């Protein structure tokens, strides 16, 4: 196997581990963290947001910042 391919695979594995660590850190942070798109739809909510509002993660992803407004 060429050296460059091995090097790229090692870099990819390292990046994957760093991404998983970052995701775990955000998921378990005690502060409420959520991400929205430009239209206000929620596409990520951490555990603290779900606990605070009493929704499951799946339900949070059905909501938007404009939810309940007319």
Would you say how long the chain is, in residues?
70
pLDDT above 90: residue 64 = no
- Tens digits of residue pLDDT in 18-60: 999 999 999 999 999 999 999 999 999 999 999 999 999 999 9
- Tens digits of residue pLDDT in 3-21: 777 788 899 999 999 999 9
Domain ranges in the chain are 1-29, 31-70
Q: What tokens appear for 54 in the block?
A: 């009493």
Question: What is d(CA 55, CA 61) in angstroms, rounded to the nearest whole number?
Answer: 10
Q: What tokens appear for 11 in the block?
A: 């870099």
**Contact predicate 66/48, CB 8 Å:** no
Nearest CA to 32 among 53, 18, 58?
53
pLDDT score, position 69: 44
What is the pTM for the complete model shown?
0.72
Question: What is d(CA 12, CA 4) in angstroms, rounded to the nearest whole number?
Answer: 12
């Amino acid at each position: 196997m060429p050296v460059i391919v091995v090097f790229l695979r090692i870099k990819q594995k390292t990046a994957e581990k760093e991404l998983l660590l970052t995701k775990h850190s955000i998921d378990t942070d005690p502060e409420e963290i959520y991400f929205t798109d430009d239209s206000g739809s929620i596409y990520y909510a951490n555990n603290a947001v779900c606990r605070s509002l009493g929704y499951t993660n799946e339900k949070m992803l059905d909501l938007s910042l404009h939810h309940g407004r007319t």
